[in-house]
Amino acid sequence: MKRAALFSVYAVSAVMALQLAAPAASFAGTAKNIIFMVPDGMGLADLTATRIYKNGLDGAPLSFETLKHIGYQRTYSANSTITDSAPAASAWACGEKFNNGEISFHGDGRPFKPSILELAKNKGKSTGLVATSTITHATPAAFGSHVVSRNCENEIARQLIEVTGVDLLLGGGVDKFKSVKADQCGTKGDFIQTAQERGYAVAFSKKELDQAVADGSKKVLGLFNAAGLTPEYTRAAGISEPRLPEMTAGALKVLGKNKRGFFLMVEGSQVDWANHAKDYPYQLGEMLAFDESVQVVRDWINADEERKDNTLLIVVADHDTGGFAINGPQTALLKAGQTVEAGWTTGNHTGVDTLVWSEGPGSKALGKSIDNTDIYGVMVRSMAGLKE
């Protein structure tokens, strides 16, 4: 789609989106900040197994388990009982169903709503995307770009910098931002140079990210691997890549300086990859890092009364991957530090509902059975200080 036509779609769709923010009954607080956290591909058994390993059968819950409201969402896409990450994240980002493979864009030419990230940016808020995959992968892409296929990662990189102008991007994907071969959308180019020209501090290591944060940079592009980041369970000592909790902490320091607030999406991308691979040690490492990242966010929120009143935190998986199950042990009680006997029903995604944990302005509306598209309306209304 030509850029002029794309912006005309945005303009029409913005009106549709803002209509969600009426009528005007007030929440106790307004979501000045929205923090959206995604353990990609996580099912309930993943959580249970991680809690057992970390704290034992009768031990403390994981950080996100203690959020105030718990609900669950349907995950199907516009054309499939079994969704992939592209339409699942697009449903959150834009509040409507998309076909598998589509990134907040209808391939048949129908208009689409602006993403929640774009609405936040239009309100003067800072915006950020953090992932352990390439930052152009399906989930982060859905919030910051509109393309016909998730395989258009070069085009997604271009839009993140040139069109949407997301303030903070942390993850993998050097090869997508500096490409010599065109992607499925026909895009290639050096978008790292473009980012530098547009005022981004560019980081390729944890040390450089820490320096960008210390320097007070308001726009940061952190690309720490050619593709996805190194899995937690295979990381060697002294690796230069930041971990997900470290990227999350850096993002909060950068975005938190905006007095108008921010929208931040944080994805533990490789929970999904671990379940595709049917690799329990891989899954466990990614789950522990994700929960640590949630605790980083909660510590940041709880450090300030204003943040507690005006920050909406949502934790939700886009879909289940693998049908992971705890099959044993059958005759022993596991203690902290011990692992379950694991099994999977498939190497692909499943169609089961996934849980939604939330806290903050508007979160009560998520504490029930919902569709994944409903989360968008809750975020729009909470950002405006309105309720159902």
User: Which are the contacts of 233, defined by CB distance < 8 A and separation ≥ 6?
Assistant: 281, 282, 284, 285
Tell me the β-bridge partners of 321.
349
pLDDT score, position 383: 95
Domain ranges of the chain: 28-266+281-327+342-382
272-329: per-residue pLDDT in tens?
999 999 999 999 999 999 999 999 999 999 999 999 999 999 999 999 999 999 999 9
**pLDDT surpasses 80 at 1:** no
Tell me the β-bridge partners of 170.
130, 222
- Tell which residue, 167, 380, 370, 125, has the closest CA to residue 259: 125
237-249: per-residue pLDDT in tens?
999 999 999 999 9
Average confidence (pLDDT) over 138-162: 98
**pLDDT surpasses 90 at 58:** yes
358-377: per-residue pLDDT in tens?
999 999 999 999 999 999 99
User: Lowest-pLDDT range, 23-32, 263-272, 323-332?
Assistant: 23-32
pLDDT score, position 386: 76
User: Which are the contacts of 291, defined by CB distance < 8 A and separation ≥ 6?
Assistant: 50, 54, 62, 63, 64
Q: What is the DSSP letter of 363?
A: G
Q: Write out the H or E segment, with its range, that includes residue 359.
A: strand 354-359
Q: CA 342 to CA 363: how far, in whole Å?
A: 33
Give CA 246 to chain center in angstroms.
15
Q: Taking a C-beta distance cutoff of 8 angstroms, is the pair 166, 129 a contact?
A: yes
Average confidence (pLDDT) over 92-101: 98
Of 13, 77, 85, 293, which one is the catalytic site residue?
A: 85
- Residue located via tokens 């059975």: 369
Number of H helices, E strands in the chain: 14, 14
Residue 80 a catalytic site member: no
pLDDT band at 50 (very low <50, low <70, confident <90, very high): very high
Q: Count other C-beta atoms under 10 Å from residue 234's C-beta.
A: 10
Average pLDDT, rounded, for the chain: 93
159-196: per-residue pLDDT in tens?
999 999 999 999 999 999 999 999 999 999 999 999 99
pLDDT score, position 53: 98
pLDDT band at 387 (very low <50, low <70, confident <90, very high): low
On whether the 28-266+281-327+342-382 domain is CATH 3.40.720.10, my answer is yes
Determine whether 72 is exposed, middle or buried from the number of CB atoms within 10 Å of its CB (0-12, 13-18, 19+): middle
Cis (ω within 30 of 0) for the bond into 23? yes
Q: Write out the H or E segment, with its range, that includes residue 247.
A: helix 244-255
Q: CA 348 to CA 41: how far, in whole Å?
A: 10
Per-position DSSP letters for 337-348, written without gaps between them: T---EEE-S-SS
Q: CA 160 to CA 331: how far, in whole Å?
A: 52
Tell me the β-bridge partners of 342.
326
Give CA 230 to chain center in angstroms.
18
Residue 67 has φ and ψ, to the nearest 5°, of: -65, 155
Token representation of residue 305 = 């009364």
Residue 103 has φ and ψ, to the nearest 5°, of: -110, 95
